[in-house]
Amino acid sequence: MSLSMYSASAPVFTRGLGNMLTWLDKAQAHAEARKFDANNYLGLRLAPDMLPLTRQIQITSDGAKACMSRLAGTEIPKWDDTEASLDELRGRIRKTLDHVQSFSAAQIDGSDARAISIPMRSGDALNFSGEAFLKHYALPNFYFHSCATYMLLRHAGVELGKADFLGR
Amino acid sequence: MSLSMYSASAPVFTRGLGNMLTWLDKAQAHAEARKFDANNYLGLRLAPDMLPLTRQIQITSDGAKACMSRLAGTEIPKWDDTEASLDELRGRIRKTLDHVQSFSAAQIDGSDARAISIPMRSGDALNFSGEAFLKHYALPNFYFHSCATYMLLRHAGVELGKADFLGR
């Protein structure tokens, strides 16, 4: 008995992305209660040399999108990073959910042995088996940027707790 | 072809805990370069109603420790939360690594269908299959507290980048 590559990927991204929608709803409610523009969140950074909230969400989206396509061996769709409002970021998350859910288990299962090669800006590539890619690259990368998003909102005063991170 | 419960848990915790040791080494070097007491990191919080660094590391440790014991069906060791220095936190992480590595694949594999029940303070319990426990509780919980640790140190000026989070 074991985990399938599909069950270890799609449902994890689906839950994580759904949780992010909840955080943005809570952030919006917090902004309305405090009477500030909810789009003020978009440029927040935890440190001046870290990426702002908008990029954290876009990279979370990109990671889930690319992971599913790479495991299935299909082309990764290219999405422009044009989101300029909380609503547009919600749309980006929903588009990512649709992409994740467009794959069947049959397309992903068996990808543990698939050779995955990620081109780097340097011209080199990171090479993984599908299993190592999912466990040691795609999932930690997804959690890193989603957690950065959570911590930014939490630091900004939004009423979030760990249950909002874990979701249901 | 699929992932084993062992391969989806122990190597992920091992890498994540090893990465934390690197972050603490970088934090120590940063403190020495700036000539402040490295133990000043221990009480840092991202928000006044969040847990401080020491507790984030202890809970990361507890999560990995309990996950391995629960999947194996063995008693969870009780460790007192007494760490009061960066060195003692390193010791806690190393003790956690030893615990994770004390399990064989044979003890963990097949635990996807094991019934896991986590008692809550309320008297209720969270009930999972081993698979759902690992994917939707133990791993996101581990990433949540390890990422909180990373973000705290990053926010405090320690020179960390995503490569330090992903590790090797």
pLDDT, tens only, B13-24: 999 999 999 999
pLDDT beyond 70 at B100: yes
- Whole-model pTM above 0.90? yes
Q: In this predicted model, what pLDDT tens digit does every residue of B138-158 receive, in sequence order?
A: 999 999 999 999 999 999 999
Cα A132 off chain centre by:
18
Do B135 and A12 count as a contact with CB atoms less than 8 A apart?
Answer: yes
Q: Between β-strands A125-129 and A115-119, what pairing exists: parallel, antiparallel or unpaired?
A: antiparallel
What pLDDT sits at residue B8? 97
pLDDT beyond 60 at A120: yes
Q: How many helices (H) and strands (E) does chain A have?
A: 7, 2
Element (H, E) at A88: helix A86-101
Which of A17, A129, A151 is the best residue to mutate to test the B interface, defined by the most B CB atoms within 10 Å of its own CB?
A151
What was the ipTM of the complex prediction? 0.96
Neighboring chain B residues of A163 at a CB cutoff of 8 Å: none
Q: Which two tokens stand for residue A13?
A: 């991204």
Measured CA to CA in angstroms, residue A101 lies from A13, A14, A15, A114 at distances of 9, 8, 11, 20
Q: How confident is the model at residue B1 (pLDDT cuts 50, 70, 90)?
A: low
CA–CA separation, B137 vs B127, rounded Å?
A: 11
pLDDT beyond 80 at B2: no
pLDDT beyond 90 at A2: no
Quick one: average pLDDT of B82-100?
Answer: 98
Neighboring chain B residues of A166 at a CB cutoff of 8 Å: 136-137, 140-141, 144
pLDDT beyond 90 at A163: yes
- Alpha carbon of B88: minimum distance to chain A alpha carbons (Å): 26
Q: By percentage, how much of chain A surpasses pLDDT 90?
A: 95
Quick one: average pLDDT of A67-82?
Answer: 98
Quick one: average pLDDT of A131-159?
Answer: 97
Q: Which residue of A has its CA nearest to B8?
A: A135
Q: Mean pLDDT over all residues of chain B?
A: 96
Neighboring chain A residues of B1 at a CB cutoff of 8 Å: 5, 109-110, 112-113
Q: In this predicted model, what pLDDT tens digit does every residue of A57-73 receive, in sequence order?
A: 999 999 999 999 999 99
Determine contact: B118 vs chain A, CB below 8 A: no
What pLDDT sits at residue A168? 75
Measured CA to CA in angstroms, residue A49 lies from A44, B21, B40, B167 at distances of 11, 23, 22, 20
Q: How confident is the model at residue B52 (pLDDT cuts 50, 70, 90)?
A: very high
